[in-house]
Amino acid sequence: MSALLIDLLSWVLIVVGGAFGVIGGIGLLRLPDFFSRIHAASLTESMCAPCIIAGLMLQSGMTLVTVKLVFLVIFLFLTSPTAAHVLAKAAIHGGLDPGALRDADAERRG
Amino acid sequence: MDTLVDIVLLAFLAVSAIAILRLRDLFAMAMMFGLFSLISAGLFTTMDAPDVAFTEAAVGAGISTILILATLAQTARREQSPARRRVLVPLAVVWITGAVLIYGTADLPGVGDPAAPAHNHVAPHYLQESSREIGIPNVVASVLASYRGFDTLGEVVVVFAAVVGVVALIGLRRRPPGVVEGPAALSEHDVLKVIAKLVVPTILLFALYVQFHGEYSPGGGFQAGVIFAAAIILYALVFGLDAARGVIPPKLLNVMPATGALIYGGVGLVTMLLGGNYLEYDRLAADPQAGQHLGILLVEIGVGVTVSSVMLLIYFSFAERGRGKLRDDGEAGP
Amino acid sequence: MSFLAHFNYYVAIILAMIGFYTMISRTNLVKKVAGLNIFQVSVFILFISLGVLDGGTVPILTETHTLYSNPLPHVLILTAIVVGVATTAVALALAVRIREAYGTVEEEQIQAKDDQP
């Protein structure tokens, strides 16, 4: 019974992770501004990957594989947001203006 | 289900290859190149080849992408379209070659067919005899280092020849006059510095794990060498080239590629001196299996030393050559 | 049925042709090197597909499995990947030197500079 529950929970987590991945991908394509696109991409790394990895942890139970997956999640949480942060900082350094969209919107509204 | 995953991955591979072909902005092409390597690594994993996937991810998505970026920093950023774009002849050549090749695959066995010749001659011998003759679980490592040890010796020498070629072309130049030694480009990124300081020791530890655990799980000398070099390259990117060059003393780093090849060849010589053939590890210890273990350990260490120092030397050569070349508008200077 | 059995080969050939086309039709030297790498990866995919065994698993000996995929293509492709990156490094170093000598990495401009007396 509890095996079925764990299976179900891991399935839900993996599917939810996949859905987050798709949402992040759609955001990456459709959002208008570079900085909002970074936000959509970082959704993938902070929700999609950990959800899928959590589902895999439930599937593999109490083995060495789970320990390795925990290390993987910690590493992911350390490095991916840093990458997004550095990307945004590099864009500002390169001259992209974060407020451009908001100013263009305000101008359009008059 | 397996086939579906394969089909999706192969489709993504084809799409990213076409993107690499058509992108004019070469920095974007470098990013697609990293993505292409990573998807191919995923494909190798689903095809039961984790060693290959490991190497492809580390080498293709790591070192090759970094080298392409380092080259783009010193050459042009955009591809210029030629005055008269010639597509007819290349297209015809490609279509004809592709058609002939596809006609040639008609006789190939289906993927996974147990009756294929590839599965019926040497491979069963390796799989069945490896546990008795060599005794390490990772058959790829035992084939790489013991059964096909000559090929791996040749590969180490090829890597060594590559570093000789790169250093002869663009390395070991004294700093050109007028280039001031400023702070590293990323030195005011506090978040990046803290995370890099946390992550670099972990990567080095992982490289050591991959090196010595490569007999029991996917891994070995090549992957470990590349991961080790990647850690030092990350340090160089965040804290500056001079700080990274100080990590391993230059005199030692210049000698390490040859030392690794010497270790590998030296093991062969020692086995000959002990009365066996070249690279016959059985002679290294009283028990043949223990001899094989010792021989594989030594040659993998030789491979790891060579590969890590070669990747580092190549990166340092590219980075040193590019110093002072980038103008303020981002285009490469004279 | 035979199409699915040979699907890996067809895609490997398509990738090889894309890489080949990139190499011969684009004039930027760095793009040519990227095309060469695409070609190499397609050859790796062809070889690894030849080594897959139905019902086999990763060639690491365990007690629970008896059927393993062929380890020999894995070894050959490991060597090929490392040789490929060595080739790429030397080719890119050549591109850097060409840029310093000619001022450009576009093949046509280099050819024009060479043809000048």
Chain B CB contacts of A82 under 8 Å are: 191-192, 195
Contact A75 B191 (CB under 8 A): no
More confident residue, C94 or A102: C94
- Chain position carrying tokens 């035979």: C2
Residue B80 near residue C104 (C-beta atoms within 8 A) = no
Average pLDDT over every residue of A69-96: 89
Chain B CB contacts of C28 under 8 Å are: 26, 76, 79-80
Window 209-248 of B, Cβ < 8 Å to A: none
Residue range C20-79, pLDDT digits in tens: 999 999 989 999 999 999 999 999 999 999 989 888 889 999 888 888 999 999 999 999
Residue B71 sits at the chain C interface (C-beta within 8 Å): yes
Show the tokens assigned to C19: 């890489």
Window 304-333 of B, Cβ < 8 Å to C: 307, 310, 314, 317-318, 321-322, 332
Confidence at residue B334, expressed as pLDDT on a 0 to 100 scale: 47
Confidence at residue B175, expressed as pLDDT on a 0 to 100 scale: 59
Looking at the DSSP assignment, which residues form a beta bridge with residue C106?
C28
Residue C30 near residue B72 (C-beta atoms within 8 A) = yes
Residue B8 sits at the chain A interface (C-beta within 8 Å): no
Q: Which residues of chain B have pLDDT under 50?
A: 328-329, 333-334
Contact A79 B199 (CB under 8 A): yes
**Residue among B189, B195, B199 minimizing CB distance to A89:** B189
Q: Is the pLDDT of residue C103 over 80?
A: yes
Residue range A10-62, pLDDT digits in tens: 999 999 999 999 999 999 999 988 899 999 999 988 899 999 999 999 998 88
Which parts of chain B fold into alpha helices (H)?
2-22, 26-46, 50-58, 65-74, 88-104, 122-133, 139-142, 149-170, 190-212, 221-239, 241-245, 250-273, 288-321
Window 20-79 of C, Cβ < 8 Å to B: 20-22, 24-31, 33-35, 37-38, 41, 44-45, 48-54, 56-62, 68-79
Mean pLDDT of chain A: 90
Residue C106 sits at the chain B interface (C-beta within 8 Å): yes
Amino acid identity for residue C94 in this structure: L
Q: How far is B80 from chain A (nearest CA, A)?
A: 23
Q: Is the pLDDT of residue A65 over 50?
A: yes
Chain B CB contacts of A75 under 8 Å are: 199, 202
Which parts of chain A fold into alpha helices (H)?
2-30, 34-43, 49-60, 64-94, 100-109
Chain B CB contacts of A79 under 8 Å are: 195, 199
Confidence at residue B26, expressed as pLDDT on a 0 to 100 scale: 92
- Interface predicted TM-score of the whole assembly (ipTM), two decimals: 0.94
How many residues appear in chain A? 110
Distance of alpha carbon C110 from alpha carbon C101, whole angstroms:
10
Residue C73 near residue C51 (C-beta atoms within 8 A) = yes
Contact A82 B192 (CB under 8 A): yes
